[in-house]
């Protein structure tokens, strides 16, 4: 049996979610603050990433060097990421060091120094991330695919754009911090070894007096053209394809997830077998299910030579469309074996669980235990997935290509 999921909502609006894990000596945290790219001004792409970078350069009584040294002394393995909806801070350490680590990150959320003398260094880091995308055609085509496929502002790249990053000044960073680093909408997920009552008391003290405005979702507008070609002088062509599915909170999510697992996941999956192994069309091909809070999609990628790009696109689209004909029993058996292995590994990782419970709370307003997820996987059947595919066949594709020549998109596909 999984350990119980615990939760507490503080008066300030912060939600604390915890999952005790027997047999581990570690504790991990994931903090989701509602400060993602969807909340940036339209002409200031990358503002969330720049704010995050600067917030980590000193907080509370610590300057940049003291901040890093204290976390290193606590043995905190840490990361920070920006997504469409959140800026997330995560870390894992020995259980006895959890409370002091949380105190440091409370200063990041409430009292960052945002030092003027570090702005250009922080900007340089974020600009390097933009440059890295230019040097990675596969990443570039998939970022553009998300931008085209999801409605504005949910498809924005976390890296931002070079021109907007260069135009951001310190006042705009500080204003963004004041607007977006709010207690309302902030979720803290803790997994590992901890005492729940002591944890609630500690986080309560850290949040005491944290004021802010109620969280509001940004307005949406339609995305751009469904098909796009990005010209690049190269011997290779990158292909991105997306189609609408269901979000994580949908009752049919695991059926959708299962169908994508048959399509892509291991060397026996359909895309690998049909597009790469049998025909030798590409060096990389995959599909993933991606969920926003209220919508889900399947994103596919294929990287190939320019000479074989058209055939690769045609065969990949054929395989995506063929999924609607249903899956076979042996495909489902292989899928379940892979998922169960992943669940076992997640059960042993406090970092994975802290991220998962914070994610679940955002999407569902509750947390699925590993036992519940395991039962949902066990309940998957060939008939249930095929019935889902009958109701939600892949189609109306968004297609983005990057290479020397545009490809021909079949009529009626996009």
The two domains 6-207 and 227-403 share their CATH topology (first three levels equal): yes
What's the rounded mean pLDDT across residues 333-353? 81
| pLDDT of 335 | 85
Residue with tokens 């060096």: 283
Q: How far apart are CA 49 and CA 259, in angstroms?
A: 34
pLDDT band of 346, cuts 50, 70, 90: low
At 414 the pLDDT is 65
Whether the model clears a pTM of 0.85, i.e. scores above it, the answer is: yes
Q: Strands across the sheet with 236-245, in order?
A: 227-231, 398-403, 236-245, 296-305, 282-291
Q: Is 331 exposed, middle or buried (0-12, 13-18, 19+ CB in 10 A)?
A: buried
Phi-psi region at 58: left, alpha or beta (left = phi > 0; alpha = psi -120 to 50): left
Q: Whole-angstrom Cα distance, residue 82 to residue 226?
A: 25
Is residue 403 within 8 A of residue 250, CB to CB? The reply is no
Q: Are 324 and 243 in contact (CB under 8 A)?
A: no
Residue 36 has pLDDT above 90, yes or no: yes
Residue 94 or residue 227, greater confidence: 94
Minimum mean pLDDT range among 32-41, 337-346, 371-380: 337-346
Backbone angles phi, psi at 85, to 5 degrees: -105, -25
pLDDT exceeds cutoff 60 at 344: yes
Dump pLDDT digits (tens) for 49-66: 999 999 999 999 999 999
pLDDT category at 83 given cuts 50, 70, 90 is: very high
Indicate the pLDDT class of residue 338, thresholds 50, 70 and 90.
confident
- Average pLDDT taken over every residue of the chain: 94
Give the mean pLDDT of 344-370.
90
The answer regarding whether domain 227-403 maps to CATH 3.30.830.10 reads yes
Residue 231 DSSP code = E
**pLDDT value at position 265?**
79
Task: Please give the C-alpha separations between residue 329 and each of 177, 343, 411, in angstroms, as whole numbers.
Answer: 51, 21, 33
Question: Which value, to the nearest 10 degrees, does the dihedral of the CA atoms of residues 34, 289, 386, 334 take?
Answer: -120
b/e sequence 205-243, b meaning 16+ C-beta within 10 Å: ebbeebebeeeeeeeeeebeebebbeebeeebbbbbbbb
Tens-digit pLDDT profile for residues 372-391: 988 998 899 999 999 999 99
Q: Quick one: fold of 6-207?
A: Cytochrome Bc1 Complex; Chain A, domain 1 (3.30.830)
The predicted structure's pLDDT at residue 334: 86
**d(C-alpha 386, C-alpha 256), whole Å:** 10
Structural domain boundaries of the chain? 6-207, 227-403
């Amino acid at each position: 049996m999984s350990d119980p999921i615990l939760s507490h909502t503080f008066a300030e609006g912060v939600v604390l979610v915890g999952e005790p894990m027997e047999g581990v000596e570690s504790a991990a945290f994931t903090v989701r603050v509602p400060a993602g790219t969807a909340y940036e001004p339209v002409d200031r792409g990358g503002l969330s990433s720049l704010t995050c970078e600067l917030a980590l350069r000193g907080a509370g009584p610590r300057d940049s060097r003291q901040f890093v040294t204290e976390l290193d002394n606590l043995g905190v393995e840490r990361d920070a990421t920006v997504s469409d909806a959140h800026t997330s801070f995560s870390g894992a350490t020995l259980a006895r060091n959890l409370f002091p680590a949380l105190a440091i990150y409370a200063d990041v959320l409430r009292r960052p120094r945002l030092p003027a003398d570090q702005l250009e260094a922080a900007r340089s880091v974020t600009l390097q991330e933009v440059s890295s995308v230019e040097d990675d055609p596969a990443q570039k085509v998939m970022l553009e695919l998300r931008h085209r496929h999801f409605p504005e502002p949910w498809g924005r790249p976390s890296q931002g754009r070079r021109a907007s990053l260069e135009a951001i000044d310190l006042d705009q960073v500080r204003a963004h911090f004041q607007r977006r680093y709010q207690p309302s909408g902030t979720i803290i997920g803790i997994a590992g070894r901890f005492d729940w009552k002591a944890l609630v008391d500690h986080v309560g003290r850290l949040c005491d007096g944290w004021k802010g405005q109620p969280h509001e979702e940004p307005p949406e507008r339609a995305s751009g053209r469904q098909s796009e070609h990005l010209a690049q002088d190269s011997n290779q062509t990158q292909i991105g394809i997306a189609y609408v599915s269901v979000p994580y909170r949908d009752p049919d999510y695991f059926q959708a997830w299962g169908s994508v697992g048959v399509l892509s996941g291991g060397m026996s999956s359909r895309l690998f077998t049909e597009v790469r192994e049998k025909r030798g069309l590409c060096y990389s091909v995959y599909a993933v299910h991606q969920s926003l809070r209220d919508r889900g999609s399947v994103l596919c990628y294929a990287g190939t030579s320019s000479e074989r790009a058209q055939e690769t696109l045609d065969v990949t689209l054929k395989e995506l469309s063929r999924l609607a004909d249903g899956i076979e029993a042996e495909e489902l058996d292989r899928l379940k074996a892979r998922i169960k292995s992943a669940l076992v590994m997640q059960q042993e990782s406090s970092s994975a669980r802290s991220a998962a419970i914070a994610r679940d709370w955002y999407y569902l307003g509750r947390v699925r235990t590993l036992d519940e997820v395991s039962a949902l996987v066990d309940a998957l059947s060939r008939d249930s997935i095929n019935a889902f595919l009958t109701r939600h066949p892949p189609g109306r594709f968004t297609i983005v290509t990057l290479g020397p020549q545009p490809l021909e998109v079949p009529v009626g596909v996009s």
